[in-house]
Structure formats: C-alpha cells, structure tokens
Structure 1
C-alpha cells in the first residue's frame, strides 16, 4: 500500500529545499573558516553556529518528508562560493542567501496552498517565521558592521564587533527539539 501523502511535485520541492539548506550550511561553514583564518574568531564562531542551524533545518525537511510517507532525495551539494574579499562582502552574501531562501520557502508555501496540502502548509509556517528571524539577523550583521565603519573600520571597532558576535547567545537547538514557539 502506498502511504505517501505528498504529491510528487511537493515531495521534490521539499527535497530540493532540504538540499538547499545543506548547501547553506556548507556556505556558512566555508565563511566561518574564512573568518577564522582572518583572525575573527567571534565572527567565525557565529558563522559555525549558523551553519549548524542550517543543517538542522535540512533535517527538519528530511524528517517531514519521511513522516508523510515520502522519500527525500539527497542531491550533490554544489561547492560553497569563493571566499569573500571583506566582511562587508561576507555579511552581504549571508543576507542575499537568506532572502533567496525565503523566496524558496514561499514557493513551497504557495504550492502547498495550491494543492490544498494543509499539513505541508502548516509545517512551512515554522520556516516562514524562521526566515523573518534569519533575514533580520543578517540585516543586523550588516548594520553592526556599518556602525563599526564598514570595510574602513578601525581595528578596535572590528575587535569589538568580533567580541560581540563571540558572546552572542548560542541558541542553536537540535532540529527534533524545535517547535513553532521555540524554533
């Protein structure tokens, strides 16, 4: 008996998003390595934690597809982009990535609405809320760097920014422990 409650189109879209989240994890890991190599330990730690959060998101998609009777497909993950040339480029790339991810999330929401797959629509609301937080976080990185002086920031300002991000709370939870109220 076929127990899959996802349309082939939605199953593929959810699998594609799972892979997109894995790619994001690799991208942020790569940026973290770049920051670490440049001596920005706090920024690197922040990016490493963000990489783990993106991986957790991919696991949420995987578990959802499996729970709905589908089988997620793991695709080859493209290499992360080249190292950024500056903190501005790094933070701008993080922001652009989050906006692109939001667009992808919205496509799945639209598809689930179109197909009247209310379980998937409801599942995706967690990600809609999460993307608001992710975009805000990325925008705050850009704003903090601008306040520090951007690419012309003094060593002291960059040191302060690095320490601020190093002491940011580590609120990355395991994917299976996340809820709508506690993403």
Structure 2
C-alpha cells in the first residue's frame, strides 16, 4: 500500500504529465499553422510520449493500492513568437518536470518507499534524455536561424522522428 502523501504527489505528477501532453499538442498545432510539418510531427510524438508517462504513473498508483484522482488541466499557450522561442519553452518546461520528478523521488526516499524509488529511476533517466533533446534542438535552431534553408532542413530532420 502506498502512503497518502506519496499518492497525492503521484496524482500531482500525473496532472503535470497530462499538462505536458496538452502543451506539446498545442505546440504541434502552432507548428502546423506555421507550415512546419516536421516540427509538428516531432511535437505530436512528444505529446504521445508525455501521455504515456502519465499513464505509467496511473498504472503504478493503481498497482500499489492507491487511488488515481485526476485533476484539471489548464489551457496551454497557443501562440509562440517563433520556433526558437517555442523550444526555449520546451526546454524550460522539461526542466520544470525534472525538478518535479526529483521532488517526488525525495518524498519516496524520505518514506523509504523502495518500489517508488525504483519506478522513479526510469523517470529520472527519461528526463535526462528529454532535456538533452530539447537543448540540442534549441541550439540547432539558434544556429539555423528563423528562416531559410537551414530551418527547412531541421524541419525535415524532425519529421524523421520515430522512423530511425
């Protein structure tokens, strides 16, 4: 059985993961409107991944005898001034999620919940990857600029996500 404290913290994290999913879907819609189908494709896959993270926590909570209590998801931004600014927000958001996962892990440590610690190790490793990928795309965007052939090439590269 999972503690009430950890149950609440995991429910809060489920909400954050669903918000992440919603945020990336909003970003995908923006990219589509800016005629950047590769960015949109990458962001839609990211949206699915985030939803999967929420469901991993959902399943875990149920397996531990906890109760999932879904929370409201606020509306994400719908406008981004540029692809670069959008990926600055992606990186900032991933850092926020990393901090949240780290706090959740600290609670599991404090409560000596070894099962939660093991499960959260996966999320910690995932966040290292998430931040590195967002940072790499952001740095490439800064080098490529907002217009021209380099942006088009990056858009095509992002369109290949999931095909490698």
For structure 2, list consecutive stretches of 5 or more residues without a partner in the other structure.
none
User: Are the aligned partners of 1:49 and 1:170 in contact in 2 as well (CA < 8 Å)?
Assistant: no
Q: 1:118 to 1:170 in 2, by over 3 A?
A: farther
Q: Distance in 2 between matches of 1:166 and 1:82?
A: 21
Corresponding residue of 2:131: 135
The number of equivalent residue pairs is: 164
Q: TM-score, normalised by structure 2?
A: 0.97
Quick check: 1:12 aligned with 2:8? yes
Corresponding residue of 1:121: 117
Cα distance, 1:74 vs structure 2? 0.4
> Which has the larger share of helix?
2
Cα distance, 1:136 vs structure 2? 0.3
**Stretches (4+) displaced over 3 A:** none
Cα distance, 1:147 vs structure 2? 2.0
Quick check: 1:157 aligned with 2:153? no
CA RMSD of aligned residues (A): 1.1
Cα distance, 1:170 vs structure 2? 4.9
Alignment of 1:51-62 (within 5 A): 51-62=47-58
User: Are the aligned partners of 1:109 and 1:124 in contact in 2 as well (CA < 8 Å)?
Assistant: yes
Q: TM-score, normalised by structure 1?
A: 0.87
Q: Distance in 2 between matches of 1:137 and 1:124?
A: 20
Q: Distance in 1 between matches of 2:81 and 2:54?
A: 28
Corresponding residue of 1:92: 88
Cα distance, 1:156 vs structure 2? 1.1
Q: Distance in 2 between matches of 1:117 and 1:168?
A: 36
Cα distance, 1:168 vs structure 2? 2.5
Q: Distance in 2 between matches of 1:160 and 1:28?
A: 21
User: Are the aligned partners of 2:30 and 2:78 in contact in 1 as well (CA < 8 Å)?
Assistant: no
Corresponding residue of 1:21: 17
Quick check: 1:146 aligned with 2:145? no
